[in-house]
Amino acid sequence: MTQLHDPAWRGFASDNYAGVHPAVMQALSDANGGHQVAYGDDVYTERLRVWVREAFGPDAEVFPVFNGTGANVVGLQAMMQRWEAVICATSAHVLVDEGGAPERTGGFKLHPVATPDGKLTPALVDEQAWGFGDQHRAQPAVVTITQSTELGTVYTPQEVRALADHVHGKGMRMHMDGARLSNAAAALGCAFREFTADAGVDVLSLGGTKIGAMGAEAVVVLNPAAVQGLPYLRKGAMQLASKMRFVSAQLLALFESDVWLQSARHANAMAARLREAVAAIPGVEVTRAVDANAVFAVLPAEVTARLQQQFRFYTWNEMTGEVRWMASWDTTEDDIDAFAAAVAREMGAVVAR
C-alpha cells in the first residue's frame, strides 16, 4: 500500500481530521521491536506513570485507553456506584456525542443542565444537585466539566476550584473531560496541574488524539480515593490495549516534551487569527468567546452552503445557522487566510445584493 490521499488538503471540521505529529510517529517507531509485556506491564507505560506523577502529583495514576468516549465512560464509572449519576452541561460531549455509551455501556444516568457558554457554575450544578437519599432519584454523585468546553470556552483555575469546592461540599466528586486539555492549558498559560489536581479535580480524561496522537487518551486519577476498580472497569469497557506500549509512547511523545504546548499554542493562535479575520467581515457574527481552538459564527445559510462546497466544516445549529470552525495543530496561516478570504468573498456576494 502506498499513500492514497492528498496530504496537502486540510479543513476546519475537526481537530480529529488532522494526522499524527512527527514526534509521535518517531516515538511509535522507537517503541517498536522485540517483545514487551502486554496490557500495560511494559516500560513505556511505566515511564508514562512516572510522567503523570511528575505532572499531576505523587498520587496520580494513569490508565491509557483508546479514545475519548472510552476515557470518559471508564473514568466516570470508576467514580460511581451503579445507582449514581453524573451532572453535566447540555453541551457536554458525554451527553450529546457518545451515542448513548454512558447510559448503555456505562449504565449510568446523566442529569443535564443548560448553560450559556458550556461552563457549569455552582448555581447551575445546584439545578440538578438534589434528591440525595431519595431512592427514586439516580443519586447525583459526580459533576463533569469539559476543558476546553465544546463551545470553545475555557475555565480559569479559579472557576474550577470554586466549582470543585462546591461539588465536594455536597459530597460529590469532580471529573474533567480534557479531550482538549492542551488547548486549555496553552490558553491559560498554566501547567496542567494548576487547573486539575491543584484545583480539586478528582479524575481527568487526558486527551492526546486531538493534539497530534494517532489514537491515545488516558484516564488520569488525581484523587485515588475517588475511584474503585479501574483496571477491571477498563477491561470490561473494552478499552484495554494489548500492545499498550504503543498507546503510552504516543502520550509520552506529546507530554514529556513540549510538543503538546507548541501544538496547542499554534492551534489556538490559528483560531484567534481566524476569529480576527472573520469578525471584520460585514454580516459575520462571531458568537462565542474564542478561548481555545474553536470559532463559532453565524452566517447566512446560503453562504455556509457555498463555503462547504470548498471547505469542510460543520453546521453546529441548523436553526440559528451557527457554524463551527476548528483549528488543528497542523493548520497553517495560509489555510486561515485562504479560508477567511473565501468567507469574505461569499459574504460580499450576499451583502452586495
Burial of 3 (0-12, 13-18, 19+ CB in 10 A): exposed
CB of 152 to its own copies, least distance (A): 18
Residue 331: how many CB atoms within 10 A of its CB? 25
Minimum distance from CB of 353 to its own copies (Å)? 31
Q: Rank residues 164 and 252 by Cβ distance to its own copies and give the closer one.
A: 252
How distant, in Å, are the alpha carbons of 36, 189, 200, 230 from that of 44?
Answer: 9, 28, 28, 19
Closer CB to its own copies, 196 or 248, in the complex: 248
Q: Considering the complex, what minimum distance in angstroms separates the CB of residue 244 from its own copies?
A: 9
106 vs 200, beta carbon nearer its own copies: 106
DSSP E strands in the chain: the ranges are 61-65, 84-89, 109-113, 139-146, 173-178, 203-207, 217-221, 285-286, 294-298, 314-317, 322-326
For the bound state, the minimum distance from the C-beta of residue 193 to its own copies, rounded and expressed in Å, comes to 21
In a 10 Å sphere around its CB, with 0-12 CB exposed, 13-18 middle and 19+ buried, how is residue 191 labelled?
Answer: middle
Q: Shortest approach of its own copies to residue 347 CB, angstroms? A: 24
Residue among 29 and 158 whose Cβ is closer to its own copies: 29
CB closer to its own copies out of 113 and 347: 113
- Comparing CB distances to its own copies, the nearer of 36 and 149 is 36
What is the DSSP secondary structure assignment for residue 279, as one 8-state letter?
H
Q: How far is the CB of 266 from its own copies (least distance, A)?
A: 15
Please tell me the distance from the alpha carbon of residue 190 to that of residue 103, in angstroms, as a whole number. Answer: 34
Query: DSSP code of 16?
Result: T
Sheet holding 314-317, edge to edge: 285-286, 294-298, 322-326, 314-317
How many of the other CB atoms lie within 10 Å of CB of 1? Answer: 3
